[in-house]
Amino acid sequence: MVHRFPAGQKLNVGIVGATGVVGSTMREILKERNFPIQTLRLFASARSAGKVVDGVTIEDAATADYSGLDVVLFSAGGSTSKALAPKVAAAGAIVIDNSSAYRSDPEVPLVVAEVNPHALADLPKGIVANPNCTTMAVMPALKPLHDEAGLTRLVASTYQAVSGAGLEGIDVLARQLAHVGDQARLLAEGGHQDLLPEAEKWAVPMAHNVVPLNYVLGEDGYTEEELKLRDESRKILEIPGLPVSATCVRVPVFTGHSVSVNVAFERPISAERALELLRAAPGVVVCDVPNPLEATGQDPVYVGRVRVDHSAENGLALFVVGDNLRKGAALNAVQIAEALIG
C-alpha cells in the first residue's frame, strides 16, 4: 500500500456531518485514538453553522472553502457526498465517505481496514468509500475464513439497530417505547390495538416488533439494504460472482447490528479451525453469546455460535455482532485515515 502521508505528520482534518450521530462518534474516536491532528474543522448544514462544538465553530458545508485540508471524513448522506466530495477532493484532500454514494464506483475503493487496506494504493478520484454498517460487521469475520477455505456462498439475515437510521431512528424507538410504557406485557395477547404506537419512519411500529421491510424495494423483491450487502461483499472480498442472499430486518435495539451468517466454501473447514482463525483475526472477538448490548461502545466485532451447517457442502453457520456507529461507520473511517499514514 502506498502511504499518502509520512509517519509523524500531523494532518489537517475535516468532518462533514459533524453534528450527526456518526459525525459525533467520529469526533470522539479521533480523540480516543490520538489521531495526529494539526487542525480540526467541522462542517454541517446551514442551520448548524456558527455553533461551537468541542471548541470548534461549525462551518456551512455547502459554502465552505476546503483548501488546506488533508483528510475529510464525510457522514452527511449520499446526496451531500455526491455534491461535495468531488469538490473537496479537487481542493487536495482525501475524502473518506460513509454514505452509499461511491461504494459501487469502480474508481473508488471500498475498504474495511482489517480486510483490504491494499485497495488504498489507488485513489484515482481521491475518494475512499466506507461500507454499509451491516456489511462492515461481517467482513472481518469472513475474510480469514475465505482465505483459508475459499468462500462460495453467503446467506445472511440481519437484526439491525435503529441507530443505523441516525438520530431520527433513535428518537422514533424511544418515543414508541414510552407510548406503550409499563403496559407492554398486554401485547402478549391480541385486542390491544390502542396500545400500539403509530408507525413512524418504518412501515409498521418499531417498538416491541421487528420490521422485515427495511427501506425501499429494489430488484427482484430485495431491498436496497439487502442489495448493498450483496454488492459490497463481492467488492471487498474481491469475489465478483459470489452468490449472496440477504434478508435485512430492523429490530427494536438502539445500537448494535447482529447478523446470522450461513456460508459455504470450496474446501472443508471445521468449526474448530474456524474458531482458531477467528481468534487470531484482527478486529474480531470470539465469545459464547455475542449480543448488541455487549458490542455497544466497543471497537471489535463479536463472533459466536460457530458450527457446521450440514445443509450445505463445506458449510458453516455463525453469529456476528458489531456496533454500527463505531466499527460500522466512524471507527472504520478513522482506521482508513490511519492506514494512509506511513
State the catalytic residue, choosing from 118, 133, 208, 310. Answer: 133
Is 248 a known active-site residue?
no
Task: Write the CB contacts of 80 (distance below 8 Å, at least 6 apart in sequence).
Answer: 16, 17, 61, 74, 99
State the catalytic residue, choosing from 208, 257, 287, 310. Answer: 257
d(CA 165, CA 132): 12
24 touches 43 (CB < 8 A): no
Side-chain-side CA neighbours of residue 160 (13 Å):
33
Residue 42 grid cell = 467541522
d(CA 170, CA 114): 29
Name the packing angle between helices 331-339 and 21-32 (round to 10°): 50
Is 287 a known active-site residue?
no
Task: Write the CB contacts of 223 (distance below 8 Å, at least 6 apart in sequence).
Answer: 213, 214, 215, 216, 217, 248
Q: Which residues are known to be catalytic? A: 133, 257
